[in-house]
Amino acid sequence: MPFHLVLCTIFNITIAQEDPCLYVPDSTFISDHESCGGWIRCNNGKSSKGKCPEGLRFDSLLGVCDLKEHVPCIDDLCNEETEGQFFADERKPRKCSAYILCYKGVAESYDCPDGLSFDKKRKVCDYKENVECTDEENSDNSVCSAVPNDILLRNEHDCSKYWECQDHKAIENKCDGTQLYNQRIGKCDDSENVDCEITCHKFEEGIHKRNPKSCRSYFKCENEKPVEVNCKDYEFVVDGDSEEKINTLKCEDQMNVSNDLCPNRCEGRADATFVPIYTDNAEEKCKRYHPCKDGRINGDNTIFTCPADKFLNDETQKCVVNDRINRENCRNPTV
């Protein structure tokens, strides 16, 4: 009888990670690419390794230890005809220096010297500029290339988002309201129950990461450390305009940021502070507003409206006449 496990095979979506279990729910088993029969059990973001019984391989698609003839593996590349040949290590799609050598029927893992990449066409190590491979290049779907349906994985740059694997494709989802994805239990949870540490790796220089606890600031990776960037009092964080292959964020006027992007508009604000309600209707901007209490909107149905000829000035916290307010951003017009 096959040895059954729940599994997922992890190829990181946007960054490399030291422990393959860092973004995986507890009690999940993933395949160990160091051996065809190896598996890894994840708990508290840490991994513990094990192996299938002798003569069996771990099937990373079905999550079972099964007979060798039923489970494809990279060792299958190595036979009498390929003895002594080199191949790119497809188990590590983000590591261009990785390759394997077929030796006595076994695929042995190696890395090119620093600064070199493995050219899978010529089967040699060469300077990176001569090789068609980019360490940072990786499709979102690769994370689910061998993961069964309904496995959820945390998004490394935004704790409010997660990846759902369906038919070997990664579907990005976002938690409701102010909740964050809790990788320990494998579902969205209240933010106070989620440990979302912001980390920066060497190759992430310049990348922006959302603050999981606030939409009024974000982090920028500088010298492998997250540096907090605070928005102005009337601004919230939104996606940036960069077309480069890095995450960029920016601060935007709160009246241009929908409630979906910042559901708690009172976060970090003093009690009795008035915050204007977001609307697509230009004529209604700065007209209606919520009061804040304990860092949250004081009741979803608590809405105040300025008189017909006045609009809320979010700096003075008063309803003022039309010629003293810029309704596009709820402040005095810039002279």
Residue 213 near residue 231, CB atoms below 8 Å: no
Instruction: Determine if the pTM surpasses 0.85.
Output: no
User: Letter for the amino acid at 285?
Assistant: K
| pLDDT given at position 251 | 93
pLDDT range class, residue 227, cuts 50, 70, 90: very high
DSSP readout, 36-54?
A: TTEEEEEETTEEEEEEPPT
Task: Dump pLDDT digits (tens) for 153-194.
Answer: 878 777 888 888 776 577 889 888 778 898 878 889 988 888
- Residue 2 in tokens: 């096959």
Task: Dump pLDDT digits (tens) for 95-131.
Answer: 788 899 998 888 888 899 988 999 988 999 999 889 8
285: left (phi over 0), alpha (psi -120 to 50) or beta: beta
Q: Domain 140-191 in CATH: superfamily? A: Chitin binding domain (2.170.140.10)
Find which of 38-52, 218-232, 291-305 is predicted with most confidence, using mean pLDDT: 218-232
Per CATH, which fold does 3-71 belong to? Antimicrobial Protein, Tachycitin; Chain A (2.170.140)
Q: Which of 18, 51, 19 is nearest to 35 (CA)?
A: 51
Task: Dump pLDDT digits (tens) for 254-295.
Answer: 888 888 888 888 888 899 899 998 888 888 889 999 899 888
CA–chain centroid gap for 302, Å, is 35
Residue 38 near residue 49, CB atoms below 8 Å: yes
Residue 104 or 24, more confident? 104
Q: Do 3-71 and 140-191 agree at the fold level?
A: yes
CATH number, span 75-130: 2.170.140.10
CA–chain centroid gap for 49, Å, is 25
CA-CA distance, 18 to 30, in Å (whole number)? Answer: 15
For the stretch 139-154, what's the b/e string if a residue is b when 16 or more beta carbons lie within 10 angstroms of its beta carbon?
eebbbbbbbbeebbbb
What are the extents of the domains in the chain?
Answer: 3-71, 75-130, 140-191, 202-256, 274-324
